[in-house]
Amino acid sequence: MKIKRFITTFLAFVFSVTTIIFFDIFARRVTGGTPGAFLSWGAGARSLGMGKAYVAIAEDATATYWNPAGLAPLTRQEGIFLHAMLWAGTMYDFLSYVRPVLNWGTLGASIVRLYSGGFEKRNEYNELVGSFKDEQLAATISIGKRVADYLNLGANIKFLRHTLDWHTNSSFVVDMGAIYKPAIKNLQVGLNLQNLLEIEISPSEDKLPLTMRLGAAYKLLKNRLITSLDLVKNVKVPGIDYHFGVEYWPLIYTAIRFGIDVNEITLGFGFKWKDYGFDYAMAVHELGISHRLSASVKFGPSVEAAREKIARSNYLKAVAALEKGYFDKAKDLINLAINYDPQNKTYVYMLDRLDLIARIVPRSITDNKEDELVRRAVMKYMDRRVDHTLEILRYVLSLNPSNIKVQRLIQAIKEREGIRTPEPELAKGMTLVDQKLYQSLNYFYEGKYDLAIKEAQDVLILEPNNALAYKRIGSAFYALGDTKKALQYWKKSLELDPTDENLRSFIQKVEAEEKPTGVEGLEFLKGLEE
């Protein structure tokens, strides 16, 4: 698994770097303006205080802006509002709301607005005839979902509108995002592809440029220190922009931040108390200093508890289906459980093994002995008792050597678990139970009582109600001097086979602390076992 994760990480890195280089080469052939540039202003004072290096972090309601994949792990409803006073009376606002949904991941909606007003409007004679405004707006619907324990994916659908005086143009745009956790602990990599697809409503000569944002974030000091770096490639602008940010939490509720990019240096701080957050960022730009303020709140119950409850319900249904032999149905149910609780290792283990089993034996539902044993073997496999699983399946094969499905199942399980030992040969004319009982008796006669117990206990894995196995274990314990355990196993044997009068008589004599008539101790036991 770690090797696979490493290879995936390496390939993702090579692909991302290659794509950026390609975009950079392509961009050097293209010049012109950059429509939609207002969408590069950022969202949330926390991210702005970190120099806009946020695509790999995006762990709050601003994920609708930075990277929709960041919505996936959110468990509660959250809202955030940002207001920034820029230069020359220009205002920038961002509002976002996100809501986790049980079987959809996390949904979000946000609005970004850049507004400048009060511009003088003059006619062709330079006469003042009024004023006009320049307003750019983006309304976004987002979704983020975890598709693996190390990968989140997300998408945005944005409605863009630009109004300059009386002229308005608008369009719909699609973005795609991903957050990947490589094998390196505390490292996250984020990718946001913006303006992948544009559908114009009011045509314009300005086309939104494809923009790629690739970033990485690394946590230190027990997650109290975060460093992040973003690289941004706009296909209509030569070169690659960089953004670097640092966040440190010296106290539980207080953070300080620093950021830098090609345009500005940023400083900031934040407070977090219970479900409320307040953040401030100051940017030093060649045009002057600007201030950004944002406030956030989390509310409502955690969806995580509801997801775990539904997952648990499907898991219990899967176990019930297993017990009845509906392995294909159990696989479908445990797959549903994983959809709601993908981090649960028990569910992941079960799905992996059930996928193997259901392909060979979809169902084993009759009342005959072979199907009953197969059901028990599968339950042992789900309990991670691989050795017991194989022994039970071998017993099925000893009952019916022509059972091709069981032969394939044994081989598949051994391959899946990395077991390379050859299959033991069975004595002709004997089942596996017969063979183990016979071996247990031989060990008893040889005085190898611990091995006699082991063989008989193996029989109980195959046939939990085998009276002779209990009797043989009791005899071995008596030979070892453990009368208490001997009586315990003998009584269980007598309970399963009340017709064994010889054993009943011997139990009564042992309990009365009498020696058996005519023979001494172990000599009588040998007769009892025969």
What is the CATH classification number for the domain harbouring 476?
1.25.40.10
pLDDT per residue over 274-300, tens digit each? 999 999 999 887 767 888 899 999 999
- 119: part of which helix (H) or strand (E)? strand 105-122
- Residue 218: pLDDT band (50, 70, 90) is very high
CB 377 within 8 A of CB 370: no
Are 274 and 314 in the same domain?
no
In the predicted model, what is the mean pLDDT of residues 434-456?
Answer: 90
Q: How confident is the model at residue 14 (pLDDT cuts 50, 70, 90)?
A: very low
Residues 118 and 137 in one domain: yes
Q: Is 163 helix (H, G, I), strand (E, B) or coil?
A: strand
Question: Residue 286: what residue type?
Answer: E
Of the candidates 268, 301, 334, which is a domain's last residue?
A: 301
Band (pLDDT 50/70/90 cuts) for residue 7 is: very low
Residue 217 scores a pLDDT above 90: yes
60 and 141: one domain? yes
Buried b (16+ CB within 10 A) or exposed e, 154-167: bbbbbebbbbeeee
Looking at residue 149, what is its pLDDT?
A: 80
Dist. CA 84–CA 76, nearest whole Å: 26
Query: Are 168 and 211 found together in one domain?
Result: yes
List residues bridging with 177 in a β-sheet: 154, 192
Q: Which range among 29-33, 165-169, 372-376, 491-495 shows the weakest confidence by mean pLDDT? A: 29-33
**Domain count along the chain:** 3
- Residues 265, 354, single domain; the answer is no
463-500 pLDDT, tens per residue? 999 999 999 999 999 989 899 999 999 999 999 999 99
pLDDT at residue 89, as a whole number: 67
250 plus 393 within the same structural domain: no
Q: Is residue 117 part of a domain?
A: yes
Please state, in angstroms and rounded to a whole number, the distance separating the CA atoms of residues 392 and 376.
Answer: 8
The stretch 168-174 carries a mean pLDDT of 85
Same domain, 278 and 316: no
Q: CA-CA distance, 373 to 389, in Å (whole number)? A: 10
pLDDT at 519: 43
Question: Which pTM was predicted?
Answer: 0.66
Dist. CA 144–CA 178, nearest whole Å: 9
Which distant-in-sequence residues (6+ apart) come within 8 Å of 468 by Cβ? Answer: 437, 459, 493, 497
Work out the average pLDDT over 501-530.
68
- Give me the domain span that covers residue 150: 2-301
- Which of the 8 DSSP states describes residue 421? P
Tokens of 293: 């303020």
Assess whether 277 and 319 both reside in one domain: no
What the block records as the tokens of 158 is 């944005």
What is the per-residue pLDDT for 19?
Answer: 45
Provide CB contacts within 8 A for 455, sequence distance 6+. 436, 437, 439, 440, 443
pLDDT in tens, 107-125: 999 999 888 765 555 556 5
Residue 422 lies in a domain: no
Measured distance CA(106)–CA(144) in Å, rounded: 5
Q: Is residue 190's pLDDT more than 90? A: yes
Domain boundary among 251, 274, 301: 301
Whole-number average pLDDT of the chain: 85
Please check the confidence at residue 166 and state whether its pLDDT lies above 70: no
Residue 30 has pLDDT above 50, yes or no: no
Distances, alpha carbon 241 to alpha carbons 24, 35, 203, 288, in Å: 11, 17, 29, 21
Is 80 exceeded by the pLDDT of residue 514?
no
The token duo for 105 is 């991941």
Residue 457 and residue 163: Cα distance in Å, rounded? 82
CA angle 461, 466, 472 (to 5 degrees): 95
Residues 409 and 471 grouped into a single domain = no
Band of residue 320 on the pLDDT scale cut at 50, 70, 90:
very high
